[in-house]
Amino acid sequence: MNKKSGKQTIAYAAPPFLVSAAAVAGPMEEQGLLGGQYDRILEDNLAGQDSWEKTESLMLELALNTAVNKMGGALDDIDFILAGDLLNQLMSSHFAARSLGRPFLGLYGACSTMAESMLLGAVLVDGGFASMVAAAVSSHHDAAERQYRYPTELGVQRPPAAQWTVTGAGAVVLSREGNGPRVTAATVGKVVDAGLKDPNAMGPAMAPAAADTLWQHLQDTGRQPNYYDIILTGDLGQIGKTLLIQLMQEKGVDIAANYEDCGLMIYKEEQDPHAGASGCASSALVLCGHAFPLLVAGRLKRILLIGTGSLHSPTSYQQKETLPAIAHAVAIEA
């Protein structure tokens, strides 16, 4: 049975049910626009750990445990965990997986990893390889800051195009059996490089990748943007969002009416995140904390989540390389 649709899209034959989701957020995130919608909140950025990296790992573990608990299940129900994060060697995911003790598959798609883990998790379930899988990601502002940029304590002034890495983690459980929202389709992205070089302006570097994947998704499925109640990109921020609308307009597709970026849904303007939020947890918090309950309640019927990732590294930047980017799209329908 052919479940590939068009050039880059998977059409699940028995769409896996999204039976649970959990969001763990930092204190700054709880003060933001979606405050009150997260399952667990850290009291501070360390939460009793002795490094930000270990705190991030704790959040991921908490998100996975909470997602499993919310559905009244146990970790042993999960056949495979698919997870990733921004830290070198996926430190956060691997140390969480060590505690959780379930079969584990590590993924890296930078900030697109929530979508990547869901699309591959749905492949495992739809293909009959698993009854139930968990897909999860995390990011931590302070840990990302010192790995990608400067020592966090230095408090270096950020340029206006910079985005603020979200401190948080999100996990979903995908199941063969269930009811409620289902993952119905996914479009796997290509690496797209617009030739931009500024690692403090990732939105414009990722927008062309998002446009490429969204355009292909619409071609492969024969859908119009208004098929979805909302199209959500992961973390393009203000500059990237404006650019994506423009890039789609140039292809003759108007998305302005039902398009939003998760990077603009997390923080209030007075929290001064500059161009918006970023990080694996940007799309994860909006999906798990905000959209999932709306899907379950029937207040959202169809969403397209487009995870967006800038694939550069500090090393590639130092070697004067441009910023390659990727976007993966996942359709969720109630």
State the residues that interact with its own copies by CB under 8 A. 1-4, 7-8, 10, 13, 50-51, 53-54, 79-80, 84, 87-91, 94-95, 97-98, 101-110, 116, 120, 123-124, 126-131, 147, 188-193, 311-316, 319, 321, 324, 326
CB of 9 to its own copies, least distance (A): 9
What is the C-alpha to C-alpha distance for residues 329 and 7, in angstroms, rounded to an integer? 14
Closer CB to its own copies, residue 9 or residue 37?
Answer: 9
Closer CB to its own copies, residue 102 or residue 274?
Answer: 102
Closer CB to its own copies, residue 37 or residue 147?
Answer: 147
- Angle at alpha carbon of residue 38, lines to 34 and 40, rounded to 5°: 145
CB of 96 to its own copies, least distance (A): 9
CB of 255 to its own copies, least distance (A): 22
CB of 2 to its own copies, least distance (A): 6
- Angle at alpha carbon of residue 209, lines to 206 and 211, rounded to 5°: 110
Residue 290 and residue 32 in contact, taking contact as beta carbons nearer than 8 Å: no
Contacts with 220 (C-beta within 8 Å, 6 or more apart), sequence order: 5, 6, 7, 8, 9, 187
Q: Which two tokens stand for residue 232?
A: 């959500």
What is the C-alpha to C-alpha distance for residues 28 and 22, in angstroms, rounded to an integer? 18
CB of 3 to its own copies, least distance (A): 5
What is the C-alpha to C-alpha distance for residues 120 and 85, in angstroms, rounded to an integer? 16
| CA-only gyration radius of the chain, Å | 18
CB of 30 to its own copies, least distance (A): 26
What is the C-alpha to C-alpha distance for residues 80 and 73, in angstroms, rounded to an integer? 14
Closer CB to its own copies, residue 19 or residue 188?
Answer: 188
Q: Which two tokens stand for residue 83?
A: 């997870």
Closer CB to its own copies, residue 157 or residue 319?
Answer: 319
Closer CB to its own copies, residue 101 or residue 159?
Answer: 101
CB of 106 to its own copies, least distance (A): 5
What is the C-alpha to C-alpha distance for residues 74 and 19, in angstroms, rounded to an integer? 13
Closest CA to 96 of 63, 122, 47, 131: 63
Closer CB to its own copies, residue 84 or residue 289?
Answer: 84
Closer CB to its own copies, residue 51 or residue 224?
Answer: 51
Q: Which two tokens stand for residue 121?
A: 């998790």
Side-chain half-sphere of 282: how many Cα atoms within 13 Å? 33
Closer CB to its own copies, residue 1 or residue 257?
Answer: 1
CB of 176 to its own copies, least distance (A): 9
What is the C-alpha to C-alpha distance for residues 77 and 333, in angstroms, rounded to an integer? 24
Residue 149 and residue 113 in contact, taking contact as beta carbons nearer than 8 Å: no
Query: What is the DSSP code (8-state) at residue 188?
Result: P
